[in-house]
């Protein structure tokens, strides 16, 4: 069973109504995926405004292509792939980010809702280069395989494996000293 | 199944994955629905505006399917005589599904700007066909629309594989700019 926050079942009746152009049915679909889609875009892009645009454009693309959904995969997975593609399209348009120092501070506006450990993790994640961050998120949170990530990025699975491995190593450098400190304080 | 948590995934990576999955979902800072709703294509008016174009396109395509020799067709399934099939609609649906895979495989081929635009127009036409399929009331209407979908998908595959075609140029010139998305 998927741990993805997208894994929500949409009733067939709602899908059928949306296919026929029922705007209220489409709104129900939007409401079901609003938070998972925004979270995914925010984690991949690290920018709230761009994440809004991804959700907006992704939902319009979803509506446009609803008639092409044939039920070969769960509807939520199809929806998620559309959102991933929208976010990747925006990543590709950006200038390459070469220095971690150039990365913006992570979105701290929600930080006070999180436990300390989560806040540290989020801060470390957002300090990673965007491509590396996106690979880690798709792999560990959305449950994509390396082959699926490679296909989305138009690269080989070695690319995905190497990004993941380097990203985890960077996170280890950023987080382990703090974890060790906590351990010392507990002892 | 995810290929993580396999041998070789160390404890630190496991705990990273677990912590990331525990991060709370975040919602947009503002309600995006109103803007999305405003930008949704207006189905009724779009259909009304498109109907003459769709009819003309359908007629041309049916003529092309029945009369003109097929070039660059994606599959020999299309050569199955429709009348001979038990369910002709199923033949075209199967053909359409096969073409979805072909198109996915060709999706990332680089295209020049005109070809990309022509491809986008064809995608829009396929989307329009899907909308029409959603409201088709009679079996013969549905059959014609599935045939139309297959022909359009073949055209799209040809554009993605080798660039612009004469037929595509005709479609691109027919499209009212107002319908274009992006």
The pLDDT tens digits for A47-62 are 999 999 999 999 999 9
Closest residue in B to A152 (Cα–Cα):
B108
Tell if the CB–CB gap between A140 and B133 is shorter than 8 Å: no
Q: How close does chain B come to A113, measured CA to CA in Å?
A: 8
| pLDDT tops 50 at residue B4 | no
Of A79, A74, A77, nearest to A58 by C-alpha is A79
In this structure, how many other beta carbons lie within 10 angstroms of the beta carbon of residue B176? 10
| pLDDT tops 50 at residue A102 | no
CB B151 within 8 A of CB B64: yes
Q: How close does chain B come to A167, measured CA to CA in Å?
A: 10
Of B127, B109, B119, B112, nearest to A60 by C-alpha is B127
- Measured CA to CA, the distance from residue A122 to residue A52 in angstroms comes to 19
Tokens linked to B181? 């998305």
Of A30, A42, A137, Cβ closest to residue B36 = A30
| pLDDT tops 90 at residue B182 | no
Rg of chain A over Cα atoms, rounded to whole angstroms, equals 18
Average pLDDT over residues A75-86: 95
Q: Which residues of A38-62 are buried (b: 16+ CB within 10 A; e: fewer)?
A: bbbbbbbbbbbebbbbbbbbbbbbb
pLDDT number for residue B62: 62
Q: How close does chain B come to A29, measured CA to CA in Å?
A: 11
Contacts of A132 (CB under 8 A, 6+ apart): A163, A166, A167, A170
| pLDDT tops 70 at residue A44 | yes
Tell if the CB–CB gap between A59 and B36 is shorter than 8 Å: yes
Tell if the CB–CB gap between B3 and A67 is shorter than 8 Å: no
Of A59, A113, A121, Cβ closest to residue B19 = A121
Helices A23-45 and A75-93 pack at an angle, to 10 degrees, of: 50
- Measured CA to CA, the distance from residue B2 to residue A32 in angstroms comes to 24
CB A171 within 8 A of CB A125: yes
- Measured CA to CA, the distance from residue A38 to residue A52 in angstroms comes to 7
- Measured CA to CA, the distance from residue B178 to residue B121 in angstroms comes to 12
Tell if the CB–CB gap between B28 and A38 is shorter than 8 Å: yes
Of B41, B111, B179, B54, nearest to A18 by C-alpha is B41
Tell if the CB–CB gap between A31 and B33 is shorter than 8 Å: yes
pLDDT number for residue B25: 94
Closest residue in B to A62 (Cα–Cα):
B40
Tell if the CB–CB gap between A36 and B25 is shorter than 8 Å: yes
Of B92, B86, B73, nearest to B133 by C-alpha is B92
Cα B145 to chain center, whole Å?
Answer: 13
Of B155, B94, B153, nearest to B129 by C-alpha is B153
Residues of chain B found within 8 Å of residue A59, distances taken between Cβ atoms: 32, 36
Where residue A68 falls among pLDDT bands split at 50, 70, 90? Answer: confident
**Longest Cα separation, chain A:** 63
Of B25, B37, B131, Cβ closest to residue A39 = B25
Of B13, B30, B129, Cβ closest to residue A168 = B13
Residues of chain A found within 8 Å of residue B181, distances taken between Cβ atoms: 60, 64
| pLDDT tops 80 at residue B11 | yes
CB B67 within 8 A of CB A90: no
- Measured CA to CA, the distance from residue A142 to residue A136 in angstroms comes to 9
- Measured CA to CA, the distance from residue B78 to residue B61 in angstroms comes to 14
pTM of whole model > 0.80?
Answer: no
């Amino acid at each position: 069973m998927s741990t993805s926050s997208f894994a929500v079942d949409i009733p067939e009746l709602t899908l059928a109504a949306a296919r026929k152009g029922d705007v209220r049915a489409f709104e129900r679909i939007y409401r079901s995926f609003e938070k998972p889609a925004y979270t995914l875009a925010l984690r991949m892009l690290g920018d709230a405004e761009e994440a809004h645009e991804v959700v907006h454009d992704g939902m319009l693309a979803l509506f446009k292509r609803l008639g092409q959904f044939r039920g070969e995969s769960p509807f939520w997975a199809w929806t998620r792939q559309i959102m991933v593609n929208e976010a990747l399209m925006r990543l590709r348009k950006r200038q390459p980010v070469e220095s971690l120092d150039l990365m913006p501070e992570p979105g701290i506006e929600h930080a006070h809702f999180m436990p300390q450990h989560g806040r540290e993790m989020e801060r470390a994640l957002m300090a990673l280069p965007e491509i590396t961050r996106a690979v880690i998120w798709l792999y560990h949170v959305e449950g994509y395989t390396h082959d699926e990530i490679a296909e989305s990025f138009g690269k080989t699975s070695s690319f995905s494996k190497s990004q993941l491995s380097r990203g985890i190593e960077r996170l280890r450098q950023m987080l382990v000293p703090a974890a060790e400190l906590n351990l010392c304080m507990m002892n | 199944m995810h290929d993580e948590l396999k041998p070789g995934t160390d404890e630190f990576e496991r705990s990273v994955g677990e912590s990331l999955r525990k991060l709370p979902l975040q919602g947009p800072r503002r309600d995006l629905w109103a803007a999305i709703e405003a930008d949704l294509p207006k189905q009724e008016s779009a259909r009304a505006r498109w109907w003459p174009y769709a009819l003309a396109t359908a007629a041309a395509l049916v003529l092309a399917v029945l009369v003109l020799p097929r070039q660059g067709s994606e599959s020999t399934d299309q050569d199955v005589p429709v009348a001979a099939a038990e369910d002709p609609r199923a033949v075209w649906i199967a053909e359409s599904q096969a073409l979805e895979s072909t198109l996915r495989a060709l999706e990332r081929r680089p295209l020049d700007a005109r070809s990309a635009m022509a491809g986008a127009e064809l995608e829009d036409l396929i989307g329009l066909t899907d909308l029409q399929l959603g409201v088709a009331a009679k079996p013969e209407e549905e059959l014609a629309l599935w045939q139309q979908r297959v022909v359009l998908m073949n055209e799209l595959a040809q554009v993605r594989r080798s660039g612009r075609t004469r037929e595509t140029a005709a479609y691109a010139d027919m499209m009212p700019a107002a319908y274009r998305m992006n």
